[in-house]
Structure 1
Amino acid sequence: MELLAPAGSFEALQAAVQNGCDAVYLGGTMFGARAFAHNFDDTQMETAVKYAHVYGVRVYVTVNTLLYEKEMEEVIAYVKRLQDMDVDALIIQDVGLFTLLHERFPDMELHASTQMHIHNPQGIAMLQKMGAARVVVPRETTIEEIREYAKLGVDLEVFVQGALCVSYSGQCLMSSLTLARSGNRGECAQSCRMQYTLEEDHHGLHKEITTKGQYLLSPKDLNTLEQVPTLIEAGIASFKIEGRMKRPEYVALMCALYRKAIDAYTRKETFHVDAAMKQEMEKVFHRGFTSGHLFHQVGSALMNPLRPNHMGVRAGIIEQISKDKMTVKLVDDLHQGDGVRILKAKGDEGFRVNRMYQNGLLVNHAKKNERIQLDKTGYVEKGSILLKTSDCQQLEALRASYEQRSRTIPIQASFSMQLQKKAKLIVKDEQQHQVEVFSDMPCEKAMKTPLSKERILAQLQKTKDTPFAISCCDMSDVTSDGILPIKELNRMRRKALEQLQKLREVRNGVRRFAEEKAKVIALPSMREVMIVVHTKEQYEVCREEGFSSIYIADVSLYQTLRQANETVYLREERVKKDAYTQPHTLIQETAGLSFAQAHAGDTSLNITNSYSAAFAFANGVDILTLSVEHTPDTIQELTTAFQKRYHRTGNFAVQLYGHVELMLSEYCPIQACLKDDGKKQCGLCRKATRYNLKDLKGHRYPILSDVHCRIHLLSEDAYDHIAEWKAYQKLGITSALIVFTIEDAHKTRRVLRKVKEQVHVD
């Protein structure tokens, strides 16, 4: 079992290592999904890798964004530098980059990021065949699914602690398409942490629904510390703590706690998460805790609609207010330097406690149940709650846990010393590294007091300024009447440990770097206008308007039409748990590329470069719809590079019309706000009422639910690029995708007639 910790800075890396992690994941200055973390430049990366390796800790670097064509040469050079720095593995989102790196860096370990959207056995088996050493499963994966996936033989990495995304990772376009900050490019603006109102939509008449809070898309933080035994027994290879944007003290605490829980299980001991431990976790950071989709949490057990930020712990209640002071009855200890927040109806107020008073005198701390006075800095009401959002003593103790180098590496030593011979010190570690160091001078016969074994051992064990601790030392070959200068013992010890440290800094040695191989793709030219419909009404209009390449998004409607001998095709689910069986399908998720009979790929495959396109075509896809995050320039770069590299044009499509799916979520705000009974399948979305989420700017996002109670949050307006078809053709686009979701018959007909007028693919 591996304990994997986040490192958003070198200090966080130290915190993780010194508190017991087995591996860290971090980002460089490019191509990482946390563009706003304190990422590592090349010099810092090299230092970080050496530091971690000395302690036997592996380093994984995130290269987990989608790549555009013009970046491919740069990312290869970047990975070459990472390999030369001895980075242990890379975490990859882009399937094209994954295949390219496996070819050009055959000895580099590759992990499939959760951003790759692998959520079924077919996907895991496909990644295994592609050379993946590990798959990071989505946060939506259940414990039962993990048990089944673990049987496939690929290491599973599972999030066990930290922030949750409300949308499936790699499938969220909310930030990109509403705020021009792409989550798939590491720039997520966290739209899920913003305020929304749930509305009923009665044919354009909107009725607001009263809810407990307005942060309707903001999840609690995952916390599975109490379930560690269950997770271990499920077959998880790596326990992943989220938090590259978190402070080092957070990393230190979470690593220390999960280390204790894992080690207790290994020793067959009981690990109990008591109230004090929970409070320590709450003080350092939380939005409320949940065991998440792993353990089937829904509604209020999963979400925190009241506030999207750190909640801290309750510190007291404001009992009295004067002109410049407020009296607080404490429910927890408070110290000068602690961070606090006053909960207010119109905007909370946070500050650091610089001065606190008791009986008119300044004090530096007060205990639970005591009353204190704090300076009033703004308007506050009697009865307001005071939260403690940072505990200065806790943070100081956590900093000490990694600044004082609490982790040591046990090593074995052997010291021999015989008269008229040079003394020899041998040190060995658990990785089978061995260093031999000889004294500069031979051992002489002692004239008075010989050098005792006890004194030799005492000098050799002075290792506090190093990562090492000598666990045992063989001195069976030490003469009883010899002498050697103490400074020579010290020199031998320092030299031996320095050399051992240098050996430990390199874990992987020389790894290969290969040239790219020329490839030929056999691909028949195809041109289509593909229509996706969700309702029978939409389908009938499509037939009336003469369209034949129709993909049905609703499985029950598809089966009904097939039974009626209608020529229709299936648009596969965006999260598909069962096997692919229907030929000529439109696939929406990565595992669909393992199905040789898939005809077309949808936008959610996140195709952004010629390498990912080539992989899809090589795996049986005939027509490939490019990501909606493309610009005309990036489309041109992709199609041009594809033709140059593979000596043929590709069958590329773009979505010309449709409400774009901004989020795909297992969480349903309709159920959470109107039922919240801990169960799915409430059926509210299947009635005549339609629901929207409205943001603070008044934008409304329709909610489309599916048979599995997943929600598809749609763009406010349908994207209509039909009039731009000729411009797309000049960029190398040959097919078009039209998607109908919430359109009625009238709107569907208007769009299709516009398509017939302007889109020609012959």
Structure 2
Amino acid sequence: MKKVELLSPAGSFDALRSAVQNGCDAVYLGGMMFGARAFANNFDEEELKKAVAYAHIYGVRVFVTVNTLLYEEELETFKEYAIKLQEADVDALIVQDMGAFVLLKELLPDMELHASTQMHIHNHDGILMMKEEGASRVVVPRETTIEEIREYAKLGLDLEVFVQGALCVSYSGQCLMSSQTLQRSGNQGECAQNCRMQYTLEKEENGIRKDVSTKGSYLLSCKDLNTLEEVPRLIEAGIASFKIEGRMKRPEYVALMTSLYRKAIDAYYEKKEFHVDKEMKEEMQKIFHRGFTKGHLFHQMGSALMNPVRPNHIGIEIGIVENVHKGKMTIRLHHDLAQGDGIRILSKKEDAGFCANRIYKNGLLVNKAYANDRIQMDVNTYVEKGSKVLKTSDVVQLENLRQSFEKGKRKVEITGQFSMHIGQHPLLVVEDGIHKVEIASECVCELARKTALDPDRIQTQLRKTNDTPFIFKDITLDTDIQGIFPISELNRMRRDALNKLEELRKNVNGNRRVQTPKFTCLPVQNRQELLVVVSTQKQYEVCKEMGITNIYVENEALYHQLHQIDEHVYKREARVMKEDYEPYTMIQENGGMHHMKHGIGDTSLNITNSLSAGFAFSHGLDIVTLSIEHDENSIKNLCDGFEKHFHQKGNFALQVYGHVELMLSEYCPVNACIKDNNKQNCALCRGNTRYSLRDIKGHRYPLMNDIHCRMHLLSEEPIKNYKDISKYKQLGITSFLCVFTIEDETECRNVLHDLLEVYHA
């Protein structure tokens, strides 16, 4: 069995050092462009070269994220950037955009490519398609279960799986919440984390709205994934790479999580028991957590998955406020507290957070207090008696973790052979299993007149490698027992050998090719269609009444009902697809292109450039709907770019009406807030009851649940761009998409009346 890779995040050079020194096998990081963490301390060109060289010395691979969507005007810049990444000896690129993937495959044929979780590859078809396209691995969604991983692992493509860190409530690559509400696109690395904001669950019956009482108001905020206890099961499921999330986290967090998963993985292969004890749990809780969950991997739902009370770091509880008097609060501790620790006082009104600068015990200032001590601290904000006291940072822990990577404890094992014969030039040979370095001395070994050079002294001098990344596992000596040789020269030979070996280890991938991309696209037949998606029987009847012929139905029960009575409808497949596809459908996920002969591509394919469009047409789509995130300029650039690259016009559709699907989630806030059980199909969302989430500004986001109990969070207002149809036609759009979700028949009829009037003008 191939040993599982431990993959750690590196949002800064210190984080990279902490990952490497604490035992990772690979790191992933972002450069200055095209990464999904635009606000991390990403690496510029020189820092990246330094980071790659540092990691390679220790045998650690470096993956760079280029996992944003590319727009047409970015393609040339992206090409230049990708070439620089290859020149920096980066080991692999993590890619979201299918156009970027196609471009990289042509441009850098020797570069290893990984399909990002942002690519939304979540089924057999998607994995097989990426395998055929030349991907080395797929980063599966966080929503993937361990049973699915076991099946996917049999398909012969490496799977990378998140095992630790923050969870997104929505499927990655399918979240438009930040983009549509705050104009910060998650698909451009600018996510504003709407899921960590406050919401009220609202219920509407017979036109009357009521707030639903909930435990907290952070109804979309997930706990942090932690599967440390499940490492054996995860390895045995066939995972190739364990991924720790955290490019926005501090180096100490990376150090701790990397070291713990390293120990757990090594224990498994050494057939030793690894137990996550109370102390270990507290170490993880102190460094960062929002509560821990085993996530969708192990079918956790409701309160086991979510933390609606607080969206930020919780730390550990260390005491209770017993009294507040004259600017001081008295706390009874049940954990140690040191000067400089971060603490938070929980309050019904507002939490108070500060650093423990002054700690009083028996009226005297102390720098540390212990469990069961009663202490006083200064307080200049509102604090209630009985409030819980949390420790959110621990100065001793942080210092120990800093030492773990600043001292450079990780060593590369090497072997050495030293030969020294009278009248000859001594020779030192050093090997690391890949490289071989030979250093011959300019000095000659002489016959000792008094004391010969002792073999033990030679061993001692050669093993002085503490200030290097290396340690000798074995040194073989072949020396004349009466020979003498300068110790200073022996030390120089050792230094030169190790320096040369270090330089050799920095470049792993050698000279890789850069080629001129050649793109092909199957002939595209001209199509001009009005495509309408319906969700209810009433909507379908209005469409039929108004002469709409291209009707697509996502509601599975309604589709089968209409299909059985020979109604002329097509299937709009689910955005998360685990079943087989119908012969002619509208697809919403990349895997749908694997066996597609004819079909329609929906907005969720994230088509933002001509190359991703060309890929879609070449994989059986007749019409490709562009991403909802386009503006007029990017639409024109894409259409022009397509004609330039493929010498033909494309059949492009644009959604001109509909409530935008802002989030798609396996989590259901209705069930979680009202029932909080671990069973699906609770039926709360059935019938005439409608639910919405309302934010603190009063914006209301309707909730829809499908047959699989997935949550579809919709935009407050529908987009209504059909008045600009003539303008879009001039830009190169040939077809138009209208999506009905929560509209009643009157709204549906009014929209179609206005839309048809413009469409046929």
Q: Does the CA-based 8 Å contact 1:62-1:91 persist in structure 2?
A: yes
Cα deviation for residue 686 of structure 1 reads 1.1
Alpha-carbon distance in 2 for matches of 1:684, 1:387:
37
1:40-439 correspondence to structure 2 within 5 Å: 40-430=43-433, 432-439=434-441
* Residues 215-267 of structure 1: CA deviation (Å, up to 9, x unaligned): 00000000000000000000000000000000000000000000000000000
In the alignment, which residue of structure 2 is the partner of 1:616?
A: 616
Q: Per the alignment, in what secondary structure is the counterpart of residue 24 of structure 1?
A: strand
Tell me, yes or no, if structure 1 residue 20 matches structure 2 residue 2. Answer: no
Letter paired with 1:639: C
Post-superposition Cα deviations, 1:490-530, rounded to whole Å, max 9, x if no partner, equal 10000000000011101100001110115353111001000
In 2, Cα distance between the equivalents of 1:459 and 1:625?
69
Distance 1:480 1:186 in 2: 66
3-state SS in 2 of match to 1:126: helix
User: C-alpha distance in 1, partners of 2:703/2:598?
Assistant: 28
Q: Which runs of 5+ in 2 are unaligned?
A: none
| Residue matched to 1:643 | 643
Q: Deviations over 1:181-228 (max 9, x none)?
A: 000000000000000000002354310001000000000000000000
Aligned residue-pair number: 758
Q: Where does 1:599-748 land on structure 2 (aligned, <5 Å)?
A: 599-748=599-748
Cα pair 2:206 2:688 within 8 Å, conserved:
no
SS at match of 1:213: coil
Between stretches 236-245 and 517-526, larger displacement belongs to 517-526
Shift of 1:446: 1.1
Tell me, yes or no, if the aligned pair for 1:198 and 1:208 is still in contact at 8 Å.
yes
Please tell me the root mean square deviation across aligned C-alpha atoms, in Å: 0.8
> TM-score, normalized by length of structure 2?
0.99
- Partner of 1:161, secondary structure, is strand
Aligned 8 A contact 2:7 2:25 in 1: yes
Q: What letter matches 2:627 in structure 1?
A: S
Are the equivalent residues in 2 in contact too, given 1:171–1:664 (CA < 8 A)? yes
> How far apart, CA to CA, are the structure 2 residues paired with 1:385 and 1:70?
53
Q: Name the CA distance, whole Å, in 2 between partners of 1:304 and 1:95.
A: 34
Q: d(CA) in 2 for partners of 1:76 and 1:524?
A: 30
Amino acid at match of 1:542: C
In the aligned structure 2, how far is the partner of 1:708 from the partner of 1:274? Answer: 37
Of stretches 590-599 and 56-65 in structure 1, the one that deviates more from structure 2 is 590-599
Quote the Cα distance in structure 2 between the aligned partners of 1:722 and 1:346: 47
Task: Write the letter of the residue equivalent to 2:142.
Answer: R
Query: How far apart, in 2, do the equivalents of 1:666 and 1:517 lie?
Result: 40
Q: In the alignment, is the contact (CA less than 8 A) between 1:587 and 1:598 conserved in 2?
A: no
Q: Distance in 1 between matches of 2:224 and 2:598?
A: 38
* Alpha-carbon separation, structure 1, partners of 2:449 and 2:347: 81
Task: Give the AA of the match of 1:10.
Answer: F
Cα displacement (A) at 1:165: 0.2
2:470 alignment partner AA: F
CA distance, structure 1, for counterparts of residue 509 and residue 336 of structure 2 = 49
SS of 2:607's partner is coil
Structure 1 residue 486: deviation in Å? Answer: 0.9
Tell me if the contact between 1:21 and 1:255 (Cα under 8 Å) persists in the aligned partners.
yes
Counterpart-to-counterpart distance in 2, 1:204 and 1:648: 51
Please tell me whether the aligned partners of residues 521 and 614 of structure 2 are also in contact (alpha carbons under 8 angstroms).
no
1:559-570 map, 5 Å = 559-570=560-571
CA distance in 2, matches of 1:62, 1:518: 23
User: Matched residues in 1 for 2:521 and 2:634: separation?
Assistant: 23
2:427 maps to amino acid: K
Match of 2:554 in 1: 553
Query: Following the alignment from structure 1 to structure 2, what is the Cα–Cα distance between the partners of residues 687 and 255?
Result: 48
Shift of 1:730: 1.2
Matching of residue 459 in structure 1 with residue 473 in structure 2: no
List aligned pairs for 1:468-507, cutoff 5 A.
Answer: 468-475=470-477, 477-507=478-508
Using the TM superposition, name which of 735-744 and 514-523 deviates more.
514-523
Alignment of 1:441 with 2:458, yes or no, is no
The answer to whether the 8 A contact 2:658-2:739 is kept is yes
Secondary structure of the equivalent of 2:15?
A: helix
Corresponding residue SS for 1:530: strand
- Aligned-partner Cα distance in 1 for 2:305–2:45: 39
Deviation for aligned residue 1:596: 2.1
**3-state DSSP class of the match of 2:365?**
strand
In the superposition, the TM-score normalised over structure 1's length comes to 0.99
Which secondary structure does the structure 1 equivalent of 2:427 belong to?
strand
Q: What amino acid is the match of 2:438?
A: E
For 1:577, the equivalent position in structure 2 comes to 578
Instruction: Tell me if structure 1 keeps the 8 A contact 2:161–2:239.
Output: yes
SS of residue matched to 1:100: helix
Distance in 1 between residues matched to 2:104 and 2:654, nearest whole Å: 27
- State, as a whole percentage, how many aligned pairs show the same letter: 61
Q: Which amino acid aligns with 1:538?
A: Q
User: What does the per-residue CA deviation read over 1:571-593, in whole Å, with 9 as the maximum and x for residues that have no partner?
Assistant: 0000001222x122100001011
- Provide the C-alpha distance between the structure 1 equivalents of 2:78 and 2:207, rounded to a whole number of angstroms: 48
Q: Is the 8 A contact 1:586 1:598 kept in 2?
A: no
Q: Report the Cα offset of residue 150 of structure 1.
A: 0.1
Shift in Å, 1:688: 1.5
